[in-house]
Amino acid sequence: MASLFWMLLLFAAESGLPPFPVVSPGDPVPQKLYQYTGKGAITYDSVDRIGEFASWRAAVHGRKASVQKDRAGYLNTRYDWAAMRTDAACRMSGGKLIPMGPVTRLPKDAATWDALAKLTPEEIRRRDLFPEGFRPLSHPLHSTGHMLFPESWIKAHPEHRRFDIDHDLGDAFLPEFPPPLYLTTRPDMGDVARGREITLENFREVFDGVLTPEQMEGLRLLVTRFPTSWFNFTKHRVTDEPSRGVACFDCHVNGHTNGALGLDPGTRPQLARVRLDTPSIRGNHVMSLFSLKRSIRTLEHFAEIEEYFDGDIAMQLQVGGRQLDKPSTNRMGDFMSIIGFPPASKLDRLGRLIAARATPAERRGEELFFGKAQCGSCHPAPFYTDNRMHDLRVEEFYTGRAEGWAKTFSLRGIKDSPPYFHDGRLLTLEDTVEFFNLLLGTGMTAAEKQDLAAFLRCL
């Protein structure tokens, strides 16, 4: 162990960043994990790593209040909660008010967003002026990680409440629950769910006479709970009682998202894994990539390998993993491939604004999107994704570990999916506009940024 420690220290020293701390599941970790680097001690995990369950549970539960207090204090340095606003005319597809901002705190030495955007990346980095809220956001208990459900879900499903940590964002910054469900095969039906959460108990009632038998079987598997790391019947769990596990549609509620978060499975060590907000699976029929940082090319492959976002085949057998066969994952993929985007009444057949239906601000925002703001370079119409991966090199603005490549998510229906960016660091569309104005050096005025946000809410 001593030799490993010195190897990690040497590796980190070469990068100019300190090595990741050595932690066990449930241990508190630094909030700014982007400041660390290096290898981990192990790749494979085991249920026995936590030791005796009752003792481990008592220890991590006893720290919960202090961990959450530290987390709240850190988030207060990133965000000004009081800056959030709403507009009765700006709502998600199901009617929930859209959070509006920006709520990201400016550094104390930056007077305005416009003044900050006039500085070069080198000067922003040298003076440490890159907003903390624009830097990577960690899981609130990164040493354990895994699925963390928002309070709106927990109220309906208390069996998923964790004894070690609660979700760190309020309901105002999360998608509506339950969200509408749209099908590419039956656009005439609109929201097929009709305000209900689709579950194992009601899916046949809702979809009988709508789906093919194969699609129906795929949906059955998507709403069936299976054991996974930290949610199962073994001692390797973060719920008081053993459980059946988690279904795909527990996070991707009605084929969308409830704002649950986890960690991207494609990276190790644990503390280097990227916080990943549950993405919507609306519009999968036009997608070519199905993972944040890996080139997974089919829905069937994605359904097959994830082991619920831990990517740990060694844990599958220990917790009673899904063991799905190829026909099963094909059927899951078949249903996921017919989940449609929400209607966008202001867009034409080519995904552009219908001028007669749009406001002047929205039309100006569209011109900015495909012009000065450069959004259309990676998010072209009609689906507002280029189906590629890009390295935004955000770390050029601050001292930290390189963030690397990430796929371009579709912006269709983006108003329904706060918070934004893959780790949810950008709580509103206005924060997202400020982030990219700074990152790309587009030099937009305050009025132009408002127009761009107005257009994004049309998609």
Mind listing the pLDDT tens digit for each residue in 229-247? Answer: 899 999 999 999 999 999 9
- Sign of the CA dihedral 368, 371, 375, 379? positive
**Res 300 pLDDT > 90:** no
CA distance 254 to 278: 13
CA distance 241 to 253: 23
> 105: Cβ–Cβ under 8 A, 6 or more apart, which residues?
77, 78, 79, 80, 131, 132, 133
- Helix/strand/coil (H, E, C) string of 342-407? CCCCCECCCCCECHHHCCHHHHHHHHHHCCCCCHHHCCCCCCCCCCCEEECCHHHHCCCCCCCEEE
**Predicted local confidence at residue 262, as pLDDT:** 93
**Res 306 pLDDT > 70:** no
Residue 305 pLDDT grade (very low, low, confident, very high; cuts 50, 70, 90): low
Spatial contact of 322 and 378, defined as CB atoms under 8 Å apart: no
Percent of all residues in the chain with a pLDDT value above 90, rounded to a whole number: 82
- CA-based nearest residue to 25, from 300, 302, 270: 270
- For residue 390, the cross-strand partners are 406
Residue 2 pLDDT grade (very low, low, confident, very high; cuts 50, 70, 90): very low
Q: CATH number for the 79-135+344-456 domain, one of 1.10.1220, 1.10.3470, 1.10.357, 1.10.760?
A: 1.10.760
Mind listing the pLDDT tens digit for each residue in 317-347? Answer: 888 877 788 888 889 999 999 999 999 999 9
Residue 1 pLDDT grade (very low, low, confident, very high; cuts 50, 70, 90): very low
**Res 359 pLDDT > 70:** yes
Nearest 5°: the CA angle 323, 326, 331 is 105
Residue 107 pLDDT grade (very low, low, confident, very high; cuts 50, 70, 90): very high
Mind listing the pLDDT tens digit for each residue in 148-165? Answer: 999 999 999 999 999 999
**Res 9 pLDDT > 60:** no
**Predicted local confidence at residue 140, as pLDDT:** 98
CA distance 339 to 333: 10
**Res 105 pLDDT > 60:** yes
Spatial contact of 452 and 373, defined as CB atoms under 8 Å apart: yes
Residue 164: CB atoms within 10 A of its CB come to 24
